[in-house]
């Protein structure tokens, strides 16, 4: 019964159009959370709905960009969106996870661990934290840590100071990865529809990438999160793909298709990062809110994925 209700809510949210007023930076976060929601267990889904603000109407993805909106009001939270390395392609928590004042743990990995710990007190009325905010922060930061340039070089602020040209627009390298590539992919391949892109990524999770999903979920020592490894993956991808062959004033997108190398070679990386972020966010929340269900993580993810897909297909709702 609860499950059916959940899937009805899920499908309503998947099928309804994305709000067109959203800036593109928000789209990546919305996608990560839409992917994650498909893999929540029933108990996780209920707990998430219980914690969400009324305005979210039971849909986590609507609040996933929230942390960016409060960056200035909650000034202390600004360094929690990223990690800087001292110009090297490796990341070390003890060296790199701090804010500009040198305060330890004030980086995206520290924040993921922090908000995970806070949410473990769900149901304990003595928790001093606003767990609605903890959930909204966690869902956002798991997205951020997967964006390769959110773990980038300090000197160029994760690509923010590298000015590049993306088709006709002047932008910066960080923004290309936050926004421009997603925008171009949606326009070129998904009829400008966010939900179609989410569905394309979801199909890959159950098909092309299904053999890799176990590895994405693998977490050494069975800790609740493996945010350290997600950050290490990001700086490696930043060096091998995002920064690679890019200079100040590079032209990354062009009108004629033969110079679209950057876009076509980097887009699969970006799409896989969105998928990994979604699967791992679901895993983290299932571990926090429904620990009994996830001793066999991958089978949970797969069986929920299949059930949801079959239900949709039976109801004639699947967007294939």
Binding site for ligand NAG (CB under 6 A): 53, 76, 80, 105-106, 110-111, 114, 129-130, 132-133, 165, 200-201, 204, 208, 249, 251, 268, 271
Among ligand NAG, Zn ion, none, the one that 161 touches (CB under a kind-dependent 5 to 8 A) is none
Return the ∠ at Cα 214 (arms to 119 and 143), rounded to 5°. Answer: 45
CA distance 270 to 150: 13
Closest Cα to residue 302, out of 199, 235, 205? Answer: 205
Phi/psi class of residue 153: alpha, beta or left (left: φ > 0; alpha: ψ in -120 to 50)?
Answer: beta
Say which residues have a Cβ less than 8 Å from residue 187's Cβ, sequence separation at least 6: none
| Shortest distance in whole angstroms from residue 23 CB to ligand NAG | 20
Say which residues have a Cβ less than 8 Å from residue 206's Cβ, sequence separation at least 6: 302, 305, 306, 309
CA distance 298 to 279: 10
Instruction: For CA atoms 4, 301, 45, 197, give the dihedral sign.
Output: negative
Tokens at 215, concatenated: 């590895």
Nearer to ligand NAG, 231 or 294 (CB): 231
Among Zn ion, ligand NAG, none, the one that 12 touches (CB under a kind-dependent 5 to 8 A) is none
| Shortest distance in whole angstroms from residue 75 CB to ligand NAG | 11
Task: Report how far apart, in Å, the C-alpha atoms of 63 and of each of 52, 135, 201 are.
Answer: 8, 9, 21
Nearer to ligand NAG, 41 or 280 (CB): 280
| Shortest distance in whole angstroms from residue 114 CB to ligand NAG | 4
Among ligand NAG, Zn ion, none, the one that 233 touches (CB under a kind-dependent 5 to 8 A) is none
| Shortest distance in whole angstroms from residue 196 CB to ligand NAG | 9
CA distance 29 to 241: 21
Among ligand NAG, Zn ion, none, the one that 193 touches (CB under a kind-dependent 5 to 8 A) is none
Nearer to ligand NAG, 6 or 93 (CB): 93
| Shortest distance in whole angstroms from residue 68 CB to Zn ion | 5
Tokens at 319, concatenated: 């967007």
| Shortest distance in whole angstroms from residue 54 CB to ligand NAG | 9
Among Zn ion, ligand NAG, none, the one that 144 touches (CB under a kind-dependent 5 to 8 A) is Zn ion
Nearer to ligand NAG, 105 or 157 (CB): 105
Looking at beta carbons, which residue is closest to Zn ion? 81
| Shortest distance in whole angstroms from residue 245 CB to Zn ion | 26
Nearer to Zn ion, 81 or 98 (CB): 81
Tokens at 92, concatenated: 């070390």
Q: Is 167 exposed, middle or buried (0-12, 13-18, 19+ CB in 10 A)?
A: middle
Among Zn ion, ligand NAG, none, the one that 114 touches (CB under a kind-dependent 5 to 8 A) is ligand NAG
Nearer to ligand NAG, 19 or 268 (CB): 268
The DSSP call for residue 70 is: T
| Shortest distance in whole angstroms from residue 8 CB to ligand NAG | 26
CA 202 to chain centroid, in Å, comes to: 14
Among ligand NAG, Zn ion, none, the one that 106 touches (CB under a kind-dependent 5 to 8 A) is ligand NAG
By the criterion CB under 5 A, which residues form the site for Zn ion? 68, 81, 144
User: Do the Cβ atoms of 253 and 180 come closer than 8 Å?
Assistant: yes
Among Zn ion, ligand NAG, none, the one that 120 touches (CB under a kind-dependent 5 to 8 A) is none
Nearer to Zn ion, 81 or 287 (CB): 81
User: Do the Cβ atoms of 186 and 193 come closer than 8 Å?
Assistant: yes
Tokens at 188, concatenated: 């070129």
CA distance 17 to 12: 10
Nearer to ligand NAG, 51 or 294 (CB): 51
């Amino acid at each position: 019964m609860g499950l059916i209700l959940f899937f009805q809510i899920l499908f309503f949210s998947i099928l309804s159009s994305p709000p067109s007023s959203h800036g593109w930076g928000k789209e990546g976060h919305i996608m990560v959370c839409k992917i994650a929601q498909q893999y929540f267990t029933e108990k996780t889904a209920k707990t998430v709905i219980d914690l969400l603000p009324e305005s979210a109407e039971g849909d986590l993805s609507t609040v996933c960009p929230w942390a960016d909106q409060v960056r200035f009001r909650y000034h202390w939270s600004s360094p929690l969106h990223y990690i800087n390395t001292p110009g090297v392609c490796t990341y070390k928590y003890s060296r790199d996870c701090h804010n500009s004042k040198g305060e330890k743990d004030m980086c995206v990995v520290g924040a993921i661990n922090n908000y995970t710990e806070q949410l473990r007190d769900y149901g304990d009325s003595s928790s001093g934290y606003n767990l609605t905010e903890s959930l909204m922060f966690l869902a956002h930061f798991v997205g951020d840590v997967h964006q390769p340039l959110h773990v980038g070089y300090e000197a160029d602020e994760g690509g923010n100071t590298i000015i590049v040209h993306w088709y006709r627009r002047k932008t910066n390298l960080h923004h290309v990865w936050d926004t421009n590539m997603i925008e171009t992919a949606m326009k070129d391949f998904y009829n400008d529809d966010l939900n179609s892109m989410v569905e394309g990524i979801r199909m890959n999770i159950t098909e092309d990438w299904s053999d890799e999903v176990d590895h994405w979920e693998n977490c050494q020592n069975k800790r609740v999160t493996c945010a350290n490894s997600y950050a290490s993956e990001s700086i490696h991808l930043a060096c091998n793909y995002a920064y690679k062959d890019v200079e100040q004033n590079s032209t990354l997108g062009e009108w004629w298709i033969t110079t679209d190398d950057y876009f076509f070679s980097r887009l699969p990386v970006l799409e896989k990062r969105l998928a990994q972020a979604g699967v791992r966010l679901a895993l983290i929340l299932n571990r926090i809110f429904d620990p009994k269900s996830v001793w066999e993580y991958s089978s949970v993810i797969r069986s929920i994925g299949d059930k949801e897909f079959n239900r949709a297909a039976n109801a004639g709702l699947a967007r294939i």
